[in-house]
Amino acid sequence: MNATVATAEVAAPPHDHGISFGEAVRVWARIAALSFGGPAGQIAVMHRILVDEKRWIGEDRFLHALNYCMLLPGPEAQQLAAYIGWLLHKTKGGLVAGALFVLPGFLAILGLSYVYVLFGKTPLIEGLFFGLKAAVLAVVFQAVVRVGSRALKNSVMRGIAAAAFVAIFFLNAPFPLIVLLAGLIGFLGGRAGITAFKGGGGHGATGGEIGHDRDTALGEALPEHAKPNLGWSLRICAAFLILWLAPVGLLFVLAGPSNVFTQIAGFFSQMAVVTFGGAYAVLAYVGQEAVGTYHWVAPGEMLDGLGLAETTPGPLIMVTQFVGFLAAFRDVSMLRPLVTATLGAVLTTWVTFMPCYLWIFAGAPFIERMRGNRALSSALGAITAAVVGVILNLALWFAIHTLFKQVEPFRIGAIRFDMPMLSSINLPALILAAGAAIAVFRFKAGMIPVLLACAGLGAAYVLIV
């Protein structure tokens, strides 16, 4: 590891990459507008534009940054954008790249949320969301297969995934506890040199000719501002901790812990710290708490929110904005529901993404010290394996509440889950979901065409029937 650090930090004359800030802003806006398809699709878009097309950074540097972002809680694609933006144009570059990555999706989901609460009970809108729910089932099961094929390379990893599924589905174990235990097992396994614990991470890059760092605008040398500086790190940590936690603290003091805004700020701040493993792991945690604990949304509405996030640009984690919107909209103690709902959406987005900047700006200058650390890579691999089980739980939870009209609680000792009543099966939803699954798995159809087709078929069914 020390040799790697020494190589990366070798002294070099100042290198002017020649990329203007204005040009970078335009490119980040383009990436944001094209960022559909979840983390894998978003990372592929960034790789194609930044590495293959623009040749701003090389393959090794891109993957090194991605591996670091995979170690962090939160959306790795947005954090990767902030990291590369910081690498190119310092703090302002990271701020703009990260914000632009989120902004299109935020505005799109906010507008669709207005439509949802104002017109969601009309037959056309109900039909659109009916079809979206069926398609989303196929998308989530596809995520189980995609992540599982990458993460479950041996029986140990498959055992961790199975244990995580049993813990969250049957025993209702808290998601943070599952992640903590999986990470600890992986860390200890890596320290012990057990070969089954191999660090995994990243969604891979596109194929084609490898772009070497020496042939890119940024070059091989580490930029001066990217070298570790403890004073700068402490100042930036303090600034973003205040920006993140000051509103949360003020809400607790001024509004009290039972206020809906206080609950939104507290819950989604906690989520930003513990949600390792990408967007679908976040959804499992949010579904567990927002539906079962806070009762902000119904299970079907979580699917509606995921459908909105899947069909708009930006991180899938933007579904949390939809949850915060509905939570504030329905609070009876508030006036002007649309105003409070908008504030709820803004607050949710703020406390969800502000910590991402903290992780990047505080940690990025030190990532060379983490490079090649077997124990950390092993912890990430074990967490990713556990996330497969968590995503499977999410898929089954969505399926039960979409394909069946009635469920009843099943309880034996510590085992508890929702048992679907077979007599209440929703045949139109089953047919649509099966068709979406065939399109995705058999014919490799794209996510957006499948979602749009199912939404159209759902609308047609509701209007005809």
pLDDT tens column, 165-199: 999 899 988 777 888 899 899 999 988 989 898 65
- What's the rounded Cα separation, in Å, for the pair 225 and 233? 11
pLDDT of residue 116: 92
Residue 208 lies in a domain: no
**Model-wide pTM > 0.95:** no
Report the Cα–Cα distance between both ends of the chain, in Å, rounded: 65
In this prediction, residue 372 has a pLDDT band, given cuts at 50, 70 and 90, of low
In this prediction, residue 356 has a pLDDT band, given cuts at 50, 70 and 90, of very high
What's the burial of 3, exposed, middle or buried (CB within 10 Å: 0-12/13-18/19+)? exposed
Residue 130 lies in a domain: yes
Residue 422 lies in a domain: no
Asked whether the predicted pLDDT for residue 12 surpasses 90, the reply is no
Mean pLDDT of the chain: 84
Residue 428 lies in a domain: no
- What's the rounded Cα separation, in Å, for the pair 451 and 105? 17
pLDDT of residue 201: 46
Number of domains making up the chain: 1
Residue 169, amino acid: F
Average pLDDT of span 127-137: 85
Asked whether the predicted pLDDT for residue 384 surpasses 80, the reply is no
Residue 114 lies in a domain: yes
Residue 439 lies in a domain: no
Residue 188 lies in a domain: yes
Residue 178 lies in a domain: yes
Range of 329's domain?
17-198+227-398
pLDDT of residue 15: 55
